[in-house]
Amino acid sequence: MNKDATTMKARTTGAGPATKTIRVLVADDHLVYRIGIRNLLASEPGFEVIGEAADGNQAVEVYRRLRPDVLLLDLRMPQKSGIEVVRTVRAEFSDARILIVTSYQTEEEIFQVLQAGALGYVIKDVGREMLVQAIKAVYSGTRWLAPSIRKQFDDRALRQQLTAREVEILKLLARGLTNREIANVYGISASTVKNHLNNVMTKLEVADRTEAVSFCLSRGIVDLDEM
């Protein structure tokens, strides 16, 4: 990992070798949470919070300026989402170590942000010890997922990915459109829509279209708020 020598700090214990202090940037739109993380890490040896960011654009700007060892990033941020921040930072700094610390854990968000290049994903109510472990793991370049998150990610990896057209059809289905109405939207036949839905049900291993919609809504694959 290339670092500017002037920004690196180490602490020594007796005559032993130097121990690297992990420099952390905290990006979250809630001030109270940022203060809490700063205080928590201040009480842990080997950590230093070197900066904070209150929105996604600021997170990218501060990362560029400070080049932290680990970026602690909320998933849903103003200006630029956590997923967009990960994509932007990783595009510029391929060695960036990013740990998502968030209140949200829909399957699609987990999958997208890990695919974008985040190394870890934990929920905000995680205990102190587990958070410290996660930061250390991500700093070392190791993927770290809380057990519940790992199960969701592994389940998703075992299933075939839905195509963009299949997801769009599911969104229209969730809005209550019939096969014929969906066909009219895309200028295709109702039988083609039916074939898409059959493929979806096979991939998701569900019995019918209602169960397919329910499955995708519960895991964030389809988001009613975005429709």
**Cβ neighbours of residue 27 closer than 8 Å, sequence gap 6 or more:** 52, 53, 54, 56, 58, 59, 62, 71, 72, 73, 74, 77, 85
Determine the average pLDDT of the residues in 93-119.
88
CA atoms within 13 A on the CB side of 54: 4
Identify the burial level of 55 via C-beta atoms within 10 angstroms of its C-beta, where 0-12 means exposed, 13-18 middle and 19 or more buried: middle
User: What pLDDT does 134 receive?
Assistant: 94
User: What pLDDT does 156 receive?
Assistant: 67
Look at strands 10-11 and 144-145 and give their pairing: unpaired
User: What pLDDT does 127 receive?
Assistant: 85
According to DSSP, residue 175 is labeled: T
pLDDT band at 1 (very low <50, low <70, confident <90, very high): very low
- Give the residue with greater pLDDT, 6 vs 165: 165
The rounded distance, in Å, linking the Cα atoms of 141 and 158 is 24
The yes-or-no verdict on residue 166 having pLDDT over 50 is: yes
The yes-or-no verdict on residue 164 having pLDDT over 60 is: yes
The rounded distance, in Å, linking the Cα atoms of 124 and 119 is 16
Cα Rg for the chain, rounded, in angstroms? 21
The yes-or-no verdict on residue 12 having pLDDT over 70 is: no
Q: Spelled out in words, what is the top-level CATH class assigned to the domain 164-226? A: mainly alpha
pLDDT band at 98 (very low <50, low <70, confident <90, very high): very high
User: What pLDDT does 163 receive?
Assistant: 86
- What phi and psi, each to the nearest 5 degrees, are found at residue 99? -115, 120
Determine the average pLDDT of the residues in 211-218.
88
User: What pLDDT does 14 receive?
Assistant: 37
Kindly report, residue by residue over 19-62, the tens digit of the pLDDT: 689 999 999 999 999 999 999 999 999 999 999 999 999 999 99
| Element at 132 (helix H, strand E) | helix 128-139
Kindly report, residue by residue over 110-155, the tens digit of the pLDDT: 888 888 999 999 988 888 899 999 999 999 999 898 777 777 676 6
Domain ranges (residues) in the chain: 5-157, 164-226
CB 51 within 8 A of CB 1: no
User: What pLDDT does 157 receive?
Assistant: 64
**pTM of the complete model:** 0.65
For residue 226, give both structure tokens: 């975005």
Q: Which numeric CATH code is attached to 5-157? A: 3.40.50.2300
According to DSSP, residue 136 is labeled: H
User: What pLDDT does 150 receive?
Assistant: 77
**Other Cβ atoms within 10 Å of 132 Cβ, number:** 17
The yes-or-no verdict on residue 100 having pLDDT over 60 is: yes
- What phi and psi, each to the nearest 5 degrees, are found at residue 44? -105, 130
